[in-house]
Amino acid sequence: MSGDSWINSRQCRIVVAVITVIYVLFMVNLLFFKGRTVGLSYQYNWIPFETIRPLLLEREKYTTEAWVKNLFGNIVLFIPLGVCIPVLFRKCRSFLKLTVTVILILFAVELTQLVTRVGTFDVDDIILNTLGAWIGYVGLRFLMHVGRLR
């Protein structure tokens, strides 16, 4: 199959849909239930790079676990969005449409965490999560390109 035909195949979309459901269930559990306690106050960060900057510039203030979790966890866990969304929704195959869709989804997740007080609203999470989705998208486009070369 060529680059675009395999991504448009019914079998591919079914497999990705099943994987997406499993991924969403995993992420809902991780973001809203696992190890979360309902807080008494609202916590939020609306300033871009306010939490990213210290993680990058003051590395020695953080444990390796906290550093990896906050930087790489927020990127790696959202790589699947950059693959699943374009495969399942043809209208989101452009970089711009994917980016807008991902940011809207992530904003809704962060806002839900804030309102339900099971997490904090952090614009830096949206930035890092979007970066993860972009990595997934680039990987998908690469696979599509390699498929065309065959």
Between 147 and 128, name the one with better pLDDT: 128
Give the mean pLDDT of 116-122: 87
What percent of the chain is modeled with pLDDT above 90?
73
For residues 24-52, one letter each, b for 16 or more C-beta atoms within 10 angstroms of the residue's C-beta and e for the rest, the string is eeeeeeebeeeeeeeeeeeeebeeeeebb
132's enclosing H/E stretch is helix 123-149
How far lies 51's CA from each of 6, 30, 47, 64, 101, in Å?
40, 20, 9, 16, 23
Give the mean pLDDT of 28-38: 80
Say yes or no to pLDDT of 150 above 60: no
Between 139 and 120, name the one with better pLDDT: 139
Determine contact, residues 143/136, Cβ cutoff 8 Å: no
Cα–Cα distance between 4 and 6 in angstroms, integer? 6
Say yes or no to pLDDT of 4 above 70: no
Enter the DSSP assignment of 40. S
Say yes or no to pLDDT of 55 above 70: yes
Give the mean pLDDT of 82-103: 97
- The alpha carbon of 140 is separated from its chain's Cα centroid by a whole number of angstroms, namely 15
Enter the DSSP assignment of 62. S
Cα–Cα distance between 19 and 17 in angstroms, integer? 5
